Structure 1
Amino acid sequence: MKEQSPAAVILAAGFGRRLGGRPKAALHIGGLSLLERLARALHGARIDDIGIVIGPYRETLAPLARRCGIDVLLHDREDTQLAESQALALRTHVARRPGRDLMLLLADLPLLDDEHIRVLLDAWQRRPAGIEAQMPVVDGTRGHPLLLSWKVVRQLAVDPAFAGIRGWLNGHPEIVKPFVTSTHAYIADLDTPEDLAALTQRLWPQQVTWPAPWDVNTPQE
């Protein structure tokens, strides 16, 4: 029987404060939002079961996600931490997609495309026995997407001491396989105005713009 592809959850519950308080997943590149670009990349890699965790900016991101065919997971409050988004993704995955591996990725990966995801999936399918997690590592920096086995997802979802996946990865190096690569797309995220300026320069002549109403404020440190 052919192994079922992982389901994916996009983590998009940040405030984007260093970018002036904007929903990073709504940033447009060539008229297409980052969220739409990620959805196309995932679909192109044959991952069709996609969710998104949203906290603030739900009035912008939820309709956009639904237009992309993405399942919306809303926090019950807007001010949340990354570990809380991860916990919501894990619990929902266990409840709705039993038996499947999970791919977690950040919403602000503007250079990630379907080929990058396919390469990771191929390595995941060929991983040695006993490996339960895989993430790309570029020049010593961990990137995204992160892949977790069903076994680990099920354990983490019910762990009362869960404080974030980074800590879990650090504590279980024997079952974590780094995917060592030089591909910058796995770590090229958008946190600061400098990141945005570098992306704009890199992608020129494609236009990198904020949609209304997020196009009126100047990003601040």
Structure 2
Amino acid sequence: MTRTADTGAKQACVAGLLLAAGGGRRLGGRPKALLEHRGELLVEHAVRVLREGGCGPVHVVLGAGAAEVRARLGAPVADVVLVDNPHWARGMASSLTAGLASLAELPGVPAVVVTLVDQPYVGAAAVARVVAAHRAGSSLAAAAYGGVRGHPVLFGREHWAEVARTASGDRGARAYLRQHAAAVRLVECSDVAAPDDIDVPDDLALLERRLERRLE
């Protein structure tokens, strides 16, 4: 992972939280964080996206294969913190809770943008739009794709404790977001991002071809 010379990320108050702990069951147990695309690991790409989108610091929750992920990432990067989740097999909620707990130790961070490691076509432009929603006064915001809520999702600090308390299994914060749907500002991102999950290596190539056709 290379150091990013993005001054916007240095100036931003909004933190980034990358959930990258999954075990990659459909990948034969190979963590999705270690998939490679366009010459870099998905975890490297996702960290760069958060930083270029205006987030800092960035906390990355690791679980399956954490030691290998750390080894592949190499030397630490400024403002990037790796958080181990020993309970990653319990689902996404455990990683969200671990990440929020680590960020809660930092004073002066008013909000966090949460992204998933297996959505490589959610890029910096989508992150920046969600960050801008916070700067415009929203404490709950999410990217939308054709009006349907997706990632990234932004939580103001005042929501973190209850998000962590209500998070469950692989559903993460869905219940909390549904309960507070009227307060969630949806930021349309379908023109700059695609929310497709990567479950198997072939999904990367299939999705890229589909996006290329859309842009022709």
Q: Deviations over 1:11-54 (max 9, x none)?
A: 01111112332221222222211222222222223323111111
Structure 1 position 100, deviation (Å): 2.3
- The residue type equivalent to 2:154 in the other structure is L
- The residue type equivalent to 1:112 in the other structure is V
Matched-pair contact (CA < 8 Å) for 2:126–2:192 = no
Structure 2 counterpart of 1:92 = 102
For 1:179 and 1:52, the matched residues in 2 are separated by 24
SS state of the match for residue 120, structure 2?
coil
| Cα-Cα RMSD | 2.6
Structure 1 position 114, deviation (Å): 2.4
SS state of the match for residue 96, structure 1?
coil
For 1:136 and 1:126, the matched residues in 2 are separated by 15
Matched-pair contact (CA < 8 Å) for 1:109–1:185 = no
Structure 2 counterpart of 1:119 = 129
Matched-pair contact (CA < 8 Å) for 2:59–2:82 = yes
How many aligned residue pairs are there?
Answer: 197
Residue 97 and residue 72 in structure 1: after superposition, are their counterparts in 2 closer, same or farther (change >3 A)? Answer: farther
Structure 2 counterpart of 1:82 = 92
Matched-pair contact (CA < 8 Å) for 1:9–1:102 = yes
Structure 2 counterpart of 1:213 = none
- The residue type equivalent to 1:35 in the other structure is V
List alignment gaps of at least 5 residues for structure 1: 205-221
Residue 88 and residue 190 in structure 1: after superposition, are their counterparts in 2 closer, same or farther (change >3 A)? Answer: same
- The residue type equivalent to 1:143 in the other structure is G
Between 166-175 and 180-189, the greater mean CA deviation after superposition: 180-189
Matched-pair contact (CA < 8 Å) for 1:143–1:186 = no
Structure 1 counterpart of 2:141 = 134
- The residue type equivalent to 1:134 in the other structure is A
For 1:116 and 1:162, the matched residues in 2 are separated by 24
Q: Among 31, 34, 50, which residue is 2:39 paired with?
A: 31
Q: Structure 1 length as normaliser, TM-score?
A: 0.77
Q: Deviations over 1:94-138 (max 9, x none)?
A: 1234542111110112223323322222233124xxx42111111
Structure 1 position 171, deviation (Å): 0.8
The 5-angstrom pairing of residues 146-157 of structure 1 reads: 146-157=153-164
Between 181-190 and 102-111, the greater mean CA deviation after superposition: 181-190
Q: Structure 2 length as normaliser, TM-score?
A: 0.78
- The residue type equivalent to 1:13 in the other structure is A
For 1:99 and 1:26, the matched residues in 2 are separated by 29
Between 96-105 and 186-195, the greater mean CA deviation after superposition: 186-195
- The residue type equivalent to 2:174 in the other structure is R
Work out which structure has the larger RCO, using CA pairs closer than 8 Å and 6 or more positions apart in sequence: 1
**Bigger radius of gyration among the two:** 1
For 1:193 and 1:30, the matched residues in 2 are separated by 13
The 5-angstrom pairing of residues 1-221 of structure 1 reads: 4-65=12-73, 67=75, 69=77, 70-127=80-137, 131-157=138-164, 159=165, 161-163=166-168, 164-183=172-191, 185-192=193-200, 195-199=203-207, 201=209
